[in-house]
């Protein structure tokens, strides 16, 4: 005999076990459109923002698997190499860095990229592409695409692609789960940032449930540093600069430092977090010297302060708590320009966008 309390318990267990994805209410029509354009295409090119991070690499490789499962002719392409710490993902080795001349494609799928410019200067401009699909979670969708699968609420582009697998009824193998888990793991800062939603944890739960080895991924992604990177960090940390009021912090890497440590600019990835980690710092910046008088400027913020707006005022973009741009000028001058903005912002990390916009 089943007692009422046992029944209630089993129902509860069932409702806990059934994943409910809030995001689906928002993205369902877009998922249908994305699925339709994929079904209607045969030759597909997949790319992502240049200098790919874990989400860009993970979600682009996930798309490679998805398209292959649907028997599409697929080419994965990026102007830059997939960083060594994501090279363990099955399919990473298929990423091309050049395309045949006059190549033509039915569909170009761009993932984790807010606009075409971010595909990189070396992205071929003369591609014959019939349609474009942009899958992204940056604050503003790229309206120039034929089809958009976008939500700023998604923790990573990989979270959107997880739903695309389900929409197209393509099974998520362990190899696929590894790509999507890497996307989410890296874009949530290992499940620490505010984008770590119930949805993203529910998706991650399903991914881990496929049997993937969480530690295998963490160790490849985070504990796989070339010794050169640690040497560079040793040169970068002494450049720590903090404003008088303690709200703005900066670190930088010059070309000489990169050369001395035999590192590319991409090796500085993550260093900016050391500047933000200082108690009281609201905004941190990292300056990587590109050439004499030109820097790549990355921003990180705490709380509600939307640094993508600050980056946009310098011609860049990104997310609320992580953004970047390229700025001409010398180090002191660039830092001063950022300082002027920060000085105008009322000192609390819950600064609204309206207040921030008025300060730019
Ligand atoms: Mn992303």
Q: Per-residue pLDDT tens for 105-164?
A: 999 999 999 889 999 999 998 899 999 999 999 988 999 999 999 999 999 999 999 999
Query: 167 C-alpha to center of ligand 1: Å?
Result: 21
**pLDDT given at position 20:** 85
Query: 322 C-alpha to center of ligand 1: Å?
Result: 10
Mean pLDDT taken over the chain: 92
Query: 4 C-alpha to center of ligand 1: Å?
Result: 46
Q: What percent of the chain has pLDDT over 70?
A: 95
Residue 10's pLDDT band (boundaries 50, 70, 90)?
very low
Q: Domain 22-222: give its CATH architecture.
A: Alpha-Beta Complex (3.90)
**pLDDT given at position 18:** 64
Reported pTM:
0.85
Q: What percent of the chain has pLDDT over 90?
A: 81
Least confident of 12-16, 212-216, 318-322: 12-16
**pLDDT given at position 13:** 42
As a three-state string, the secondary structure of the chain is CCCHHHHHHHHHHHHHHCCCCCHHHHHHHHHHHHHHHHHCCCEEEEEECCCCCHHHHHHHHHHHHHHHHCCCEEEEECCCCCCHHHCCCCCHHHEECCCCCCCEEEEEEEECCCCHHHHCCCCCCCCEEEEEEEEECCCCCCCCCCEEEECCCCCCHHHHHHHHHHHCCCCCCHHHHHHHHHHHHHHCCCCCCCCCCHHHHHHHHHHHHCCCCHHHHHHHHHCCCCHHHHHHHHHHHHHCEECCCCCEEEEEECHHHHHHCCCCHHHHCCCHHHHHCCCCCCEEEEEEEEECCEEEEEEEECCCCCHHHHHHHCCCEECCCEEEEEEECCHHHHHHHHHHHHHHCCCCCCCCHHHHHHHC
Tell me the mean pLDDT in the region 43-72. Answer: 97
Tell whether the model's pLDDT for residue 6 goes beyond 70: no
Tell whether the model's pLDDT for residue 315 goes beyond 90: yes
Tell whether the model's pLDDT for residue 15 goes beyond 50: no
**pLDDT given at position 346:** 84
Identify the CATH number of the domain defined by range 228-359: 3.10.310.30
Query: 56 C-alpha to center of ligand 1: Å?
Result: 6
Tell whether the model's pLDDT for residue 348 goes beyond 80: no
**pLDDT given at position 37:** 98
Query: 218 C-alpha to center of ligand 1: Å?
Result: 17
Ordered by start, the domain boundaries in the chain are: 22-222, 228-359
Q: 22-222 and 228-359: same fold?
A: no
**pLDDT given at position 354:** 84
Tell whether the model's pLDDT for residue 57 goes beyond 60: yes
Tell whether the model's pLDDT for residue 266 goes beyond 90: no
Query: 312 C-alpha to center of ligand 1: Å?
Result: 17
Query: 150 C-alpha to center of ligand 1: Å?
Result: 11
Tell me the mean pLDDT in the region 12-18. Answer: 48
Q: Per-residue pLDDT tens for 156-201?
A: 999 999 999 999 999 999 999 999 999 999 999 999 988 999 999 9
Query: 155 C-alpha to center of ligand 1: Å?
Result: 7
Query: 137 C-alpha to center of ligand 1: Å?
Result: 6
């Amino acid at each position: 005999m089943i007692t009422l309390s046992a029944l209630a318990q089993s129902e509860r267990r069932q409702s806990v076990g059934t994943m409910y994805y809030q995001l689906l209410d928002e993205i369902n029509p877009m998922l249908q459109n994305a699925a339709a354009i994929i079904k209607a295409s045969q030759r597909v090119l997949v790319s992502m923002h240049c200098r790919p991070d874990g989400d860009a690499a993970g979600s682009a490789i996930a798309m490679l698997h998805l398209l292959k499962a649907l028997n599409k002719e697929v080419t994965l392409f990026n102007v830059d190499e997939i960083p060594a710490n994501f090279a363990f993902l099955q399919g990473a080795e298929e990423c091309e860095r050049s395309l045949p001349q006059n190549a033509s494609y039915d569909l170009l799928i761009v993932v984790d990229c807010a606009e075409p410019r971010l595909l990189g200067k070396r992205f071929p401009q003369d591609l014959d592409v019939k349609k474009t699909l942009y899958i992204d979670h940056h604050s503003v969708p790229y309206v120039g695409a034929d089809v958009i699968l976008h939500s700023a609420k998604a923790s990573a582009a990989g979270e959107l692609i997880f739903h695309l697998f389900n929409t197209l009824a393509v099974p998520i193998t362990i190899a696929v789960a590894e790509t999507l888990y890497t996307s989410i793991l890296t874009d949530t800062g290992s499940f620490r940032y505010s984008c770590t939603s119930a949805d993203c944890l529910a998706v991650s739960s399903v991914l881990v449930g496929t049997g993937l080895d969480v530690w295998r991924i963490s160790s490849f992604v985070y504990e796989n540093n070339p010794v050169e990177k640690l040497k560079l960090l040793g040169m970068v940390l002494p450049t720590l600069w903090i404003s008088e009021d303690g709200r703005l912090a900066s670190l930088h890497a010059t070309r000489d430092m990169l050369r001395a440590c035999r590192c590319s600019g991409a090796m500085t990835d993550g260093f900016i977090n050391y500047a933000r980690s200082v108690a009281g710092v609201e905004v941190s910046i990292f300056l990587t010297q590109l050439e004499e008088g030109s820097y790549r400027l990355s921003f990180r913020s705490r709380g509600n302060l939307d640094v993508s707006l600050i980056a946009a005022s310098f011609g860049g973009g990104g997310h609320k708590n992580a953004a970047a741009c390229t700025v001409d000028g010398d180090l002191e001058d660039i830092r001063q320009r950022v300082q002027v903005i920060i000085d105008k912002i009322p000192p609390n990390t819950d600064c609204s966008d309206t207040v921030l916009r008025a300060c730019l």
